[in-house]
Amino acid sequence: MRVLGFVRRSASTPIILALLVALVTIVANSAGDASLRRIVVGAVVNMIAVIGIYLFIGLTGVFSFGQLAFMAIGAYATAIFTVPVATKRALFSAMPEWLADINLPFIPGILAGALVAAVVAFLLSFPMARMQPLSAGLATLAILVAVYTVAGNWTAVTNGSKGMSAIPTNTTMPVALIAVILVIIAVWIFQQSGLGLRIRATREDAVAARAIGIKVGRERGIAFVASAFVMGLAGGLYAQLQGTLSPDAFFLNQTFLLIAMLVVGGLNSLTGAVIGTILITAFRRVLQVIEAGVDIGPLEIPGRPGLTEVGIGIALLVVLALRSSGLTRGTEVSWDSLVRFGKRLTRRGTPSAAPTAAADPESVAGLAAAERTTPETATAEAVIEPERTPGA
């Protein structure tokens, strides 16, 4: 019983999230054809990246545009480590000897790639710690552009704009699924630990955190490095999924997509990262089908490139305007919150509502509302709040 109590109190979140991800992945995987299966694995890799972004932005509250730079580093490093030596000699003749001679198996290759990303982040974390949050956010943009430029031009190592190819493809569905579940568990432990608590304290109130002896810059730096490691991991898996790499895969468009996932789910919770990825991936798939052109009976809608991206942009803007803290409003799903939510549903007597929390946005909203401690009446001053006409 004591174990069950512990699970309910402290470990239900990662278990629920892991089950949810496994369920969605397996269902989607078995329902579709080969191309859909590939999309599903890609989505799982994306989820790892979104969790990686969450690990920094969500826990520290400091915004970053640059986390994909570490995904790029992890991807390229993994590619270099895992392409067979002979292939490297043949395809990338300009690569330095010592680099071409490295050859690692799949998993060590990915971990080594993630480690490279973490080391780069570690070096960058010292100057980052000196900056104000807003400057730091823009500095990360500088990192992104710098890495993009280097990846596109450093022909000797990255093969420049032509990109890498002939990367072994070992990222299968089970591999990706196990990876994401491990990441969810690890991140949960990290954020519940004393260290994670200190990092979250700096998010809530940096001045107060400093006053109780928390080294704000240092804690943010740790989150930055941890985030880079997870991003690197996602990058390595991505390289091993695609088999080819080009710098464009890690630039502003992809950054936007992943940030949209995180923001829609809710910047400040792991649950938000997971749910946001699922929702946006599904939404994006629907848009892509429409973009390719659909026939509804006699009505024929021609394909329009750009439609998917416009749809996602609008969706994100709507969420930002109506619910800027995301669907989860910064709360984590837990056994208790599910139970409370279930009770509310039965009391309301709406059997038509979806039974699982993550299946549709409305239920997540209800869940979050049940969990939320701050009442709706909160009316702290909004300095330049828009129009408030009487009776509006």
- Asked whether position 131 contacts another protein by CB under 8 A, the answer is yes
Q: Is the Cβ of residue 270 or residue 316 nearer to another protein in the bound state? A: 316
Contacts of 163 by beta carbon, 8 Å cutoff, 6+ apart: 244, 245, 246, 247
Residue 305 CB, nearest distance to another protein (Å)? Answer: 6
User: Which residues 254-273 are close enough to bind another protein by CB under 8 A?
Assistant: 256, 259-260, 263, 267
Token pair, residue 164, equals: 């890498």
Figure out which of the listed residues 15, 22, 39, 141 binds another protein, where binding follows CB under 8 A: 141
Among 7, 86, 99, 314, binds another protein (CB under 8 A): 314
Sign of CA dihedral 145, 317, 24, 293: negative
Looking at beta carbons only, is 1 or 378 nearer to another protein?
378
Query: Binding of another protein at residue 307 (CB under 8 A)?
Result: yes
Place of tokens 């979806």: 354
Residues between 353 and 382 with contacts to another protein, criterion CB under 8 A: 373-375, 377-382
Q: Which ranges of the chain does DSSP label H, i.e. alpha helix?
A: 2-6, 12-31, 34-53, 59-60, 67-82, 85-91, 97-100, 106-129, 133-153, 155-158, 173-192, 194-204, 206-211, 216-242, 252-265, 270-291, 307-322, 335-348, 361-371
Which of 73, 171, 60 minimizes the C-alpha distance to 119? 73
Q: Of 285, 286, 290, which Cα lies nearest the Cα of 305?
A: 290
Query: In whole angstroms, what is the distance from residue 246 CA to residue 141 CA?
Result: 19
- DSSP label at residue 303: P
Check binding of 302 to another protein (CB under 8 A). Answer: no
Interface with another protein: number of residues (CB under 8 A): 65
Q: Which of 65, 81, 188, 229 touches another protein (CB under 8 A)?
A: 65
Residue 386 binding another protein, by CB under 8 A = yes
* Rounded-to-integer distance, Cα 383 and Cα 220, Å: 28
- Span from 6-14, 48-56, 82-90, 252-260 in contact with another protein (CB under 8 A): 252-260
Between 11 and 145, name the residue whose CB sits nearer to another protein.
145
Task: Work out whether the CA dihedral 52, 43, 317, 319 comes out positive or negative.
Answer: negative
Site for another protein contains 253 (CB under 8 A): yes
List residues binding another protein (CB under 8 A).
Answer: 57, 61, 63, 65, 124, 127, 130-132, 134-135, 137-139, 141-143, 145-146, 149-150, 152-154, 252-253, 256, 259-260, 263, 267, 304-307, 309-310, 312-314, 316-317, 320-322, 324, 373-375, 377-392
